[in-house]
């Protein structure tokens, strides 16, 4: 452990910048594939998004592989528009034995004036990490990947809907939860960014869709989505996607409407039934809110990725209409696409502006379940985590019992979303001491553990 900490400290100290040298990092993640002949040989890819108006990108970075440090040279940088570029770093690591490993990168300091963390925010480092299980008998061939960037704009007073569109090419089941972004602490251990609070109302659903009903304050906010991949209810991979939301002035963004929804079979859970071998048409009208040029980009979906059957191509028709653009999507799913969770399909409309090269844009998402019949509920992927918390109300301490939990994590939040306590639990009784300096009142808590659905509840502190 001391060797690990020293290696991470070396990585961190080498990349630290002064506060005046803001990094302009927007988000990122780490993913991988394994070698077809050697399941212990991993081909990693780290993707980092940055604002191109900031300091230049690092030509090389130091990665901790779970074994040692390696220097990795930047492979590519692609301009995505909106002043955002996508940086890619790739490398290979071979592991000597089966087991669980965590790969991480400690980046240069975060941006200044991030609104939902302790200030000065530029003195917090930027930590990306992913945890995976090396297994020669049951190899995890693909890590979790993402189709959308780890950054998006929002508009003050307008609900935000966004989806990273995570997928696992092995077909493993994905479970989503919000978590704190991480940094490397002064004693060289990963920790939640101090002072982090979840923006009020922010949530992520079972489809990975992020909703923020009413962003009000302009500026930069950060949070992270933890995505866990399960195979036969066994955790094989955990990916943390660190992302940024930039809330801008309230403006009229493009508006989407699914004009043929009355002809579709839609569940009360919000997804659309797509029957095998029967053509499905989605007809969107995208309204132009201005006199500027409206563009509607091509849809994005796992259905277009190469690990799926190539005959499942999506046909797209596009035509101008009064006040906007009509986008029609037609595809015929095959039986090979049948599964218990929907495919996400995202579409983006944007209006060209003169605001420093940025576009005014909005995304819409629909969820397609390929199957023979509609169900109003999706199957539970994981069993519930049985637990007890007492006494409630509590004073100076309380007990948390989680008999089935192995290294479960207890998190206590203030009602404004601020994380005030985090503790690793052991199976059985755990004494949790009330954090010093916090007020009496109502708090919420979350208990999460590998192989179980997270549990939440309320705790009154007297």
Q: How many CA atoms lie within 13 A of 140 on its CB side?
A: 29
Tens-digit pLDDT profile for residues 300-333: 999 999 998 755 678 999 999 999 999 999 999 9
Q: Which of 420, 428, 430 is nearest to 397 (CA)?
A: 430
Tens-digit pLDDT profile for residues 283-295: 999 999 988 899 9
Q: Looking at the domain assignment, is residue 259 inside a domain?
A: yes
* CATH code: domain of residue 354: 2.60.40.10
Q: Same structural domain for residues 21 and 114?
A: yes
Please answer whether residues 183 and 240 qualify as being in contact, where contact means their C-beta atoms are separated by less than 8 angstroms. Answer: no
Question: Widest CA span of the chain, in angstroms?
Answer: 66
Percentage of the residues of the chain whose pLDDT score is greater than 90: 59
Q: Same structural domain for residues 203 and 311?
A: no
Q: Looking at the domain assignment, is residue 111 inside a domain?
A: yes
Long-range contacts of 12-15 (CB under 8 A, 24+ apart): 12/106, 12/125, 12/184, 12/188, 14/62, 15/58, 15/61, 15/62, 15/106, 15/107, 15/108, 15/125
166 or 13, higher pLDDT = 166
Choose the final residue of a domain: 224, 248, 272: 248
Q: Which of 162, 256, 265 is nearest to 205 (CA)?
A: 162
Mean pLDDT, rounded, of the chain: 87
Choose the final residue of a domain: 202, 229, 248: 248
Give how many domains the chain has, as a whole number: 3
- Inter-CA distances, 96 with 93, 134, 230, 315, 347, Å: 10, 10, 24, 46, 43
Q: Which helix (H) or strand (E) holds 7?
A: helix 2-15
Q: Same structural domain for residues 235 and 259?
A: no
Q: Looking at the domain assignment, is residue 83 inside a domain?
A: yes
pLDDT score of 285: 96
Q: Looking at the domain assignment, is residue 377 inside a domain?
A: no
Mean pLDDT computed over 92-116? 94
Q: Same structural domain for residues 81 and 158?
A: yes
Q: Same structural domain for residues 242 and 356?
A: no
Q: Same structural domain for residues 207 and 350?
A: no
Q: Same structural domain for residues 62 and 162?
A: yes
Q: Looking at the domain assignment, is residue 379 inside a domain?
A: no
pLDDT score of 106: 95
Rounded to the nearest 10°, the torsion over CA 198, 448, 29, 415 is 0
Q: Same structural domain for residues 279 and 340?
A: yes
Q: Looking at the domain assignment, is residue 382 inside a domain?
A: no
* CATH code: domain of residue 434: 2.60.40.3080
* CATH code: domain of residue 48: 2.60.40.60
Give CA–CA dist 150/86, Å, rounded: 10
* Phi, psi for residue 13 in degrees, rounded to 5: -70, -30
pLDDT score of 355: 60
Q: Same structural domain for residues 242 and 260?
A: no
Tens-digit pLDDT profile for residues 338-375: 988 899 999 999 998 756 667 889 999 999 999 988 76
Tens-digit pLDDT profile for residues 251-282: 778 999 999 999 999 987 788 999 999 999 99
Q: Same structural domain for residues 232 and 275?
A: no
8-state DSSP, 6: H
**Domain membership of residue 354 as a residue range:** 255-370
Q: Quick one: tokens of 191?
A: 């920790």
Report residue 379's pLDDT band, with 50, 70 and 90 as the boundaries. Answer: low
Residue 396, SS3 per DSSP: coil
Q: Looking at the domain assignment, is residue 398 inside a domain?
A: yes
Choose the final residue of a domain: 183, 215, 248: 248
Q: Same structural domain for residues 339 and 362?
A: yes
Tens-digit pLDDT profile for residues 67-82: 999 999 999 999 998 8
pLDDT score of 121: 95
The residue with tokens 């939902």 is 116
pLDDT score of 358: 76
10 or 197, higher pLDDT = 197
Q: Looking at the domain assignment, is residue 212 inside a domain?
A: yes
Q: Same structural domain for residues 147 and 278?
A: no
Q: Which of 165, 174, 305 is nearest to 243 (CA)?
A: 165
pLDDT score of 386: 65
Q: Which helix (H) or strand (E) holds 12?
A: helix 2-15
């Amino acid at each position: 452990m001391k060797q690990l900490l020293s290696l991470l400290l070396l990585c961190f100290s080498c990349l630290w910048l002064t506060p005046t040298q803001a990094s302009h990092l927007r988000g990122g993640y780490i993913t991988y594939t394994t070698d077809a002949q050697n399941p212990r040989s991993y081909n990693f890819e780290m993707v980092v998004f940055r604002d191109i108006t900031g300091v230049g990108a690092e030509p090389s970075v130091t990665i901790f592989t779970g074994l040692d440090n390696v220097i990795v040279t930047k492979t590519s940088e692609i301009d995505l528009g909106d002043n955002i570029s996508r940086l890619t770093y790739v490398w290979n690591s071979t592991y000597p034995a089966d087991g669980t490993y965590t790969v991480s990168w400690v980046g240069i300091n975060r941006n200044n004036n991030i609104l939902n963390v302790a200030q000065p925010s530029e003195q917090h480092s930027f930590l990306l990490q992913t945890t995976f299980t090396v297994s020669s008998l049951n190899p995890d061939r693909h890590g979790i990947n993402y189709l959308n960037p780890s950054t998006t704009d929002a508009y003050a007073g307008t609900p935000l809907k966004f989806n990273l569109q995570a997928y696992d090419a092995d077909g493993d089941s994905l479970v989503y939860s919000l978590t704190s972004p991480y940094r490397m602490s002064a004693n060289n251990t990963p920790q939640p960014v101090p002072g982090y609070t979840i923006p009020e109302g922010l949530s992520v659903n079972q489809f990975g869709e992020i909703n923020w009903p009413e962003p009000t304050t302009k500026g930069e906010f950060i949070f992270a989505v933890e995505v866990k991949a399960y195979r036969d209810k066994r955790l094989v991979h955990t990916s943390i996607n660190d992302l940024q939301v930039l809330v801008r002035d309230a403006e009229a963004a493009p508006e989407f409407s699914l004009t043929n929804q009355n002809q579709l079979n839609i569940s009360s859970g919000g997804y659309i039934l797509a029957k095998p071998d029967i053509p499905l048409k989605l007809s969107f009208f995208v309204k132009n809110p201005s006199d500027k040029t409206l563009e509607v980009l091509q849809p994005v979906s796992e259905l277009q990725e190469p690990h799926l059957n190539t005959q499942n191509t999506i046909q797209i028709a596009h035509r101008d209409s009064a006040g906007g653009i009509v986008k029609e999507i037609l595809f015929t799913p095959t039986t090979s696409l049948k599964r218990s969770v929907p495919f996400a399909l995202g579409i983006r409309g944007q209006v060209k502006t003169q605001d420093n090269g940025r576009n005014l844009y909005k995304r819409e998402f629909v969820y397609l379940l390929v199957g023979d019949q509609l169900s109003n509920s999706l199957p539970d992927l994981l069993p519930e985590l049985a637990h007890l918390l007492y006494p409630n109300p509590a004073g100076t301490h309380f007990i948390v019992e989680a008999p089935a939990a192995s290294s479960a994590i207890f998190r206590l939040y203030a009602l404004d979303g601020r994380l005030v306590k985090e503790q690793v639990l052991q199976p059985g009784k755990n004494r949790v001491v009330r954090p010093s300096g916090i007020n009496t009142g109502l708090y919420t808590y979350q208990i999460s553990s590998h192989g179980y659905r997270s549990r939440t509840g309320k705790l009154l502190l007297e």
